[in-house]
């Protein structure tokens, strides 16, 4: 690989000074280039004879040149659980997520739904990319559905992963952006996410009947990220998890009580989250540099499908 600054070869020492995680970062800025490589009458950069007029990122091991920081560097292995209620509306959304997000970016993913049968009460079945948990679809059964799917991933499928992401059918993940934001996360003691909230309310519908949880943090189920060791800790100690609280809160209250090191990470690290509120004629206003996009209105679900299609086809780089 030959890197030239103007007409002069860039020295090995200068290259090392631009290196981060085996990526050579060369900005398209004359002042910075002069500081890095010295004065020259021609401040152009070329790699193997090809000139560039923008920031470049060079993979030192392969000599590949990129216009953006390549997300494969330090890229964590993820598995995504999409928790959903099995319905025609949700299946239309899932088809967008399948084809334009997860399959496109070769992400390990599984849809998790309930399917009740009295003849086989404790069964868990895998049908293509859907994990069916044998139970009735209720609000508080979402926790059991989540835990059973986590067990299936670890104990039956035995998937290799660094992080498990718990999301839902109304959330779109911008995979390249998410992997970029997760690249430098520690791979242990992580319980973080996009939409972080602090409990300051009483809500019997969620199982919050008094003030005992006030001031504690949790991540909404749209965008939870657990490192593998945290997943294993949760599965090992399911008997300690409060089953009469809605699932995202109950998981974080368990960590607050029994795994404080992992729980503290919720306020140390973050990934970006965007709540979509744009009308259909203003979808172009949605920014493209977030990791998670929440797409759910309470009444206009038909519009959510259109917005989902836009997000799935316009946000992926």
Choose between 38 and 181: higher pLDDT.
181
Q: Where in the chain is the domain with CATH 3.90.550?
A: 78-273
Report strand pairing: 163-168 vs 78-83: parallel
How does pLDDT run across 256-282, given as a tens digit for each residue?
999 999 999 999 999 999 999 898 999
Q: Is the pTM for the entire model greater than 0.85?
A: no
Residues in the chain, overall count = 317
d(CA 255, CA 266): 10
d(CA 58, CA 244): 52
How does pLDDT run across 151-185, given as a tens digit for each residue?
999 999 999 999 999 999 999 999 989 998 998 89
What six digits make up the tokens of 283?
């979808």
Whether residue 26 has pLDDT greater than 90: no
Positive or negative, the CA dihedral 232, 235, 237, 241 is positive
Q: What pLDDT score does 80 carry?
A: 98
Q: What pLDDT score does 21 carry?
A: 65
Whether residue 72 has pLDDT greater than 60: no
Choose between 311 and 119: higher pLDDT.
311
d(CA 293, CA 286): 10
Query: Which CATH code is given to the segment(s) 78-273?
Result: 3.90.550
- Report yes or no: 172 and 100 within 8 Å, Cβ to Cβ: no
How does pLDDT run across 176-217, given as a tens digit for each residue?
899 989 988 999 999 999 999 999 999 998 899 999 999 999
Q: What are phi and psi of 283, to 5 degrees?
A: -60, -25
Counting residues of the chain whose pLDDT is more than 90, the rounded percentage is 55
Task: Give the largest CA-CA distance in the chain.
Answer: 81
d(CA 260, CA 269): 15
């Amino acid at each position: 690989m030959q890197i030239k600054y103007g007409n002069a070869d860039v020295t090995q020492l200068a290259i090392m000074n631009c290196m981060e995680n085996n990526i050579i970062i060369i900005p398209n800025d004359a002042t910075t280039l002069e500081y890095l490589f010295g004065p020259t009458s021609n401040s152009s950069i070329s790699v193997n004879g090809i000139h560039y007029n923008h920031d470049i990122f060079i993979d030192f091991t392969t000599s590949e040149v990129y216009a953006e920081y390549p997300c494969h560097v330090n890229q964590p292995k993820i598995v995504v659980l999409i928790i959903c209620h099995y319905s025609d509306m949700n299946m239309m959304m899932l088809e967008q997520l399948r084809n334009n997000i997860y399959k496109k970016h070769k992400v390990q993913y599984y849809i998790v739904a309930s399917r009740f049968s009295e003849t086989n009460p404790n069964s868990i079945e895998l049908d293509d990319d859907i994990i069916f948990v044998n139970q009735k679809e209720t609000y508080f059964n979402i926790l059991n559905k989540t835990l059973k799917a986590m067990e299936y991933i670890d104990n039956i499928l035995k998937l290799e992963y660094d992080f498990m992401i718990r999301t839902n059918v109304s959330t779109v993940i911008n995979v390249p952006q998410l992997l970029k934001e997760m690249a430098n996360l520690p791979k242990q003691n992580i319980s973080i996410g996009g939409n972080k909230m602090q409990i300051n309310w009483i809500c019997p519908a969620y199982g919050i009947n008094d003030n005992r949880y006030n001031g504690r943090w949790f991540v909404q189920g749209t965008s939870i990220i657990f490192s593998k060791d945290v997943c294993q800790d949760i599965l090992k100690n399911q008997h300690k998890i409060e089953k009469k609280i809605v699932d995202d809160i109950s998981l974080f209250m368990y960590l607050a009580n029994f795994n404080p090191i992992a729980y503290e990470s919720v306020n140390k690290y973050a990934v970006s989250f965007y709540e979509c509120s744009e009308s259909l004629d203003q979808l172009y206003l949605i920014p493209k540099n977030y990791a998670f996009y929440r797409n759910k209105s309470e009444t206009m679900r038909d519009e959510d499908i259109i917005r989902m299609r836009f997000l799935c086809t316009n946000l992926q780089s």
